[in-house]
Amino acid sequence: MYILNVDKKGDVRLQDENVTLVPEFMAVLSEEGLGSDALKWVALMTDYDSPYSYLPIEERKKVVTRDIYGKYNIKFANRKVIDNAVEKYKTLQFDPLDEQYIAFNKKINEYTVLMDKMPVTPDNAADIQKIMIGIEKVLNTRQKIIDAIEKRGKRQKIQGGRELSFLESRFEASNNK
């Protein structure tokens, strides 16, 4: 994950400065009925690098909730604290390329649903063809975004906004093999 660190058991590292320095994250941890699982829910729902990020948001809510809490629906003790943490997470990790990629994926999904629900008839064949051309244009633009993301390279965590040192670069390279 990009902002929060997770240990080998899948728990959020509570002593991590990315948790302790962000009041909204600490509020989730200290709120009665929320805690570490709720903060993990925030990260899995929001993080660009979440293994669930490919799912549409409503499906993601169900799957992440089930995987953490064992059921598809949960009513959080204090929804406002969760919402504040989600918004802070989004703000801290914001990247315009990733946001464009997400937006294009949503549009592709909408096109797919539209095409799936539209039976082909002689009356609408031309409209369907226009939709297919539109999909092709969206896919081409999306690929350009993917290329830009790949060209940018993997996001790297660095402390204090400085560049990685030689040893840190070597360490990152050895961990990414």
* Domain co-membership, 108 together with 143: yes
Same-domain status, 107 and 82? no
Residues 89 and 37 in one domain: yes
148-172 pLDDT per residue, tens: 888 887 665 544 445 555 555 655 6
% of the chain with per-residue pLDDT over 90? 36
pLDDT value, residue 95: 86
Domain final residue, candidates 94, 125, 140:
94
Same domain (yes/no): 112, 166:
yes
Domain containing 110 equals 95-177
For the segment 16-44, what is each residue's pLDDT rounded down to a tens digit?
A: 677 778 899 999 988 988 988 999 999 99
Domain check: are 109 and 37 in the same one? Answer: no
Tell whether 155 and 119 lie within a shared domain.
yes
Write out pLDDT tens, residues 44-76: 999 988 999 888 889 999 999 999 999 988 888
Contacts of residue 139, Cβ cutoff 8 Å, sequence gap at least 6: 108
Do 20 and 69 fall within a single domain? Answer: yes
Q: How far is CA 128 from CA 59, 124, 133, 170, 172, in A?
A: 27, 6, 9, 52, 48
